[in-house]
Structure 1
Amino acid sequence: MVAALSTEWFAGGRRCHRKVRITGGGGAVEATVVDECDSRRGCKDDVVDSSPAVWRALGLDTDAGEVRVTWTDA
């Protein structure tokens, strides 16, 4: 399971290849940060983008497009 974080949260790459805990849909999973969602190029400032495996593990509808989740460093 992988994720991308918006620019500020990506922290200049300091979170790259580290695990974050994503909570939503009544569950929580750990995912590895592998990329930045560049806020200077159109990505919102509060984005956690993740693979479909994360959505499925949280029981979220992968067709929803966008849902509210929270995250912390794992």
Structure 2
Amino acid sequence: MGDESDCCVEGKMYPVYWCSPLVSGYTSAHLTLNSFEKGKDGGGPSECDNKYHSDDLLIVALSTGGFDNMSRCRHNITINGNGRSVVAMVVNECQSTMGCDADNDYQPPCGNDIVDASRAVWEALGVAKDNWGWVNITCSDA
């Protein structure tokens, strides 16, 4: 677990979400940190291409509703936060309907307003490394 992931607690029930705010205009969301590399905390390969990706790329995973049954695969979004903006490509889903299994690295389900981003996105936004993990953002189609 390279990025201090929260693991599921046995016997605890977690909320699941079947819908998310649409990514349009300036949608409020939360940026979280994720690894897209093999063996790291992202779990399995990316949904869009069944491959792992370097954390040096500007890439993200969107909550289940925002991912919209893979229709957002390889589309770019603009992320605004920390007084900066960055364009990143959607390569994966941050599961809001299931979790606590090997495919999700035994992490709880994602919230319905998550943009799970690579290290490169956090760096591009200029967020101090000791603040990585959770920040309020807005996002829109690029």
Query: Which TM-score tier does this pair reach, normalised by the shorter chain?
Result: over 0.9
Structure 2 residue identity aligned to 1:11: D
Q: Which runs of 4+ in 1 moved over 6 A?
A: none
Q: How many residues align?
A: 74
1:66 counterpart residue number: 134
Among all aligned residue pairs of Structure 1 and Structure 2, give the percentage whose two residues are the same amino acid.
46
Specify the SS of the correspondent of 2:127: coil
- Distance between the aligned counterparts of 1:36 and 1:24, measured in 2? 21
Name stretches of at least 5 consecutive residues in structure 1 with no aligned partner: none
- Distance between the aligned counterparts of 1:36 and 1:72, measured in 2? 17
Specify the SS of the correspondent of 2:73: coil
Following superposition, the deviation at residue 70 of structure 1 comes to 0.9
Following superposition, the deviation at residue 57 of structure 1 comes to 0.7
- Distance between the aligned counterparts of 2:59 and 2:120, measured in 1? 8
- Distance between the aligned counterparts of 1:63 and 1:10, measured in 2? 28
1:52–1:62 CA contact under 8 A, matched in 2: no
- Note if 1:9 corresponds to 2:38: no
Specify the SS of the correspondent of 1:68: strand
1:23 counterpart residue number: 80
More helix by share: 1
Q: Superposition RMSD on alpha carbons, in Å?
A: 0.9
Specify the SS of the correspondent of 1:70: strand
What are the superposed Cα offsets for residues 4-48 of structure 1, whole Å, 9 maximum, x if unpaired? Answer: 000111111111111000000000010000000010021110000
Computing the radius of gyration from Cα coordinates, the structure with the larger value is 2
TM-score normalised by the chain length of structure 2:
0.50
Specify the SS of the correspondent of 1:63: helix
**Structure with more contact order per residue of length (Cα contacts < 8 Å, sep ≥ 6):** 1
